[in-house]
Amino acid sequence: MIAAENVEKHYGDFHALRDVSIEIPDGSLTALLGPSGSGKSTLLRVIAGLEVPDSGAVVISGEDVTHTSPQKRGIGFVFQHYAAFKHMTVRDNVAFGLKIRKRGKDEIARRVDELLEIVGLAGYQTRYPSQLSGGQRQRMALARALAVEPQVLLLDEPFGALDAKVREDLRTWLRRLHDDVHVTTVLVTHDQEEAMDVADRIAVMSEGRIEQVGSPRELYDTPQTEFVMSFLGPTATLRGEVVRPHDLVLSHEKIDDGVAVIIERVVHLGFEVRVELLDEAGERVTAQTTRGRAAELGLYPGQALFVRTARPDQIPAL
């Protein structure tokens, strides 16, 4: 298990981490999610030993490593911009940590080939990083970090510099890799979709604090703060109540405490249909419904309808 205990960090006047405590269970894939400046990268770098906290402690597998240098922490770190060793071949990049550990030549060669196979770069041994695409470079960086069999793998916005399509492929790939390799992993991201897709646990951060830690489902369905609510997905406000747009139920008849609204615009986004509504007070509310339900209701701009929030017991359990 990795733990940060009451960690404080300042950069000059900037309060980067405010009394942060978190526990990361063995074998989990935890995402640190938050907007830029929320302290998520700083926390990761403190765990790695690339930053020293002003106060507080970092514990890896029961050992206080707060003042241990990164080289002795048994970590693997992957940087947003790959940090590939440009003057080395793919083979030498991946072998770097093993050579530092003075492993035998045959062992290194075998292990490098094995890792390149795992990350899908078999046959790329003699290439240089400049001859690889961004996605390939990042997979090489992952192989390099995994080569030293770290107790924990730390990923700092690993897909942030990649195209949307490559990013999506790589995160699916990372999820599978984690299922195979089972190394405790901490991933920093500002993309809530990425966090929900990849991680089994998410810690939402804001202004140097951890707002909430939980499974993606927990955070989405039972956010404890408004920040977590709004950061994990779109929100709509109906009569002062903040809910998810898909928890707004449209109907022709007034049910319970339904509010009368007029449809301003209907947007078809494939399976999802977004309905922009105006209530009697002139406030805008956006509801989300499905293609089938929209067709059932026969929605059109200018139509008068009723909207209410779905009661929790009506939210279908998965």
Partner 1 sequence: MKVDRGPRIALRTVALVYLGLLLVLPVGLILYRTFEDGIGAFWDQISTPASISAISLTLEIVAIVVPLNVVFGVFVALALVRGRFRGRGIVQAIVDLPFAVSPVIVGVSLILLWGTDGWFGGVADAGFQIIFSLPGMVLATIFVTLPFVVREVEPVLHEIGNEQEQAASTLGADRWQTFWRITLPSIRWGLAYGIVLTIARALGEFGAVSVVSAGASGESETLTLLVANRFEDLNLPGSYAAATVLMGFALVALILMSLFEYRSKRA
In the complex, which residues of this chain contact partner 1 (CB under 8 A)? 48-50, 69-73, 75-77, 79, 81, 83-87, 96-97, 100-101, 141, 144-145, 147-148
Q: Residue 168 CB, nearest distance to partner 1 (Å)?
A: 25
63 or 256, CB closer to partner 1? 63
We find the least distance from the C-beta atom of residue 77 to partner 1, in angstroms, to be 4
Distance CA 4, CA 71 (A): 19
Nearer to partner 1, 44 or 198 (CB): 44
CB of 141 to partner 1, least distance (A): 8
Backbone torsions φ then ψ of 166, nearest 5 degrees = -60, -40
Instruction: List the structure tokens of 193.
Output: 């979709």
Of 108, 217, 121, nearest in space to 177 by CA: 121
Provide, rounded to whole angstroms, the least separation between the CB of residue 51 and partner 1. 10
Between CA 212 and CA 190 the distance in angstroms is 15
**Nearer residue to partner 1 within complex by CB, 70 or 134:** 70
Of residues 77 and 231, the one with the C-beta less far from partner 1: 77
Residue 48: CB minimum distance to partner 1, A: 6
CA angle 14, 8, 70 (to 5 degrees): 105
In angstroms, give the least distance from the CB of 79 to partner 1: 5
| Nearest-angstrom CA–CA distance, 174 and 29 | 10
CB 167 within 8 A of CB 194: yes
Please identify, using beta-carbon distances, which residue of 2 and 75 lies nearer to partner 1: 75
Q: Which is nearer to partner 1, 73 or 244 (CB)?
A: 73
Q: Please say which residue, 85 or 173, places its beta carbon nearer to partner 1.
A: 85
CA 157, CA 301: separation in Å to the nearest integer?
42
Q: How far apart are the C-alpha atoms of 285 and 128, rounded to whole Å?
A: 53
Least spacing, CB of residue 286 vs partner 1, in Å: 41
Number of C-beta neighbours around residue 72 at 10 A: 9
The CA distance from 153 to 172, in Å, is 17
Beta bridge partners of 204: 33, 212
Instruction: Give the nearer residue to partner 1 in terms of CB position, either 72 or 165.
Output: 72
- Side by side, which strands form the sheet with 55-60? 14-24, 2-11, 55-60, 63-64
CA distance 125 to 113: 8
Cα of first residue to Cα of last residue in the chain, in angstroms, is: 30
Q: Name the minimum Å distance from CB 41 to partner 1.
A: 13
Coil, helix or strand at residue 176:
helix
Vertex 117 angle, CA 199 and 119, to 5°: 30
Smallest gap from residue 148 Cβ to partner 1 (A): 6
**């109907």: which residue's tokens?**
251
Please identify, using beta-carbon distances, which residue of 77 and 124 lies nearer to partner 1.
77
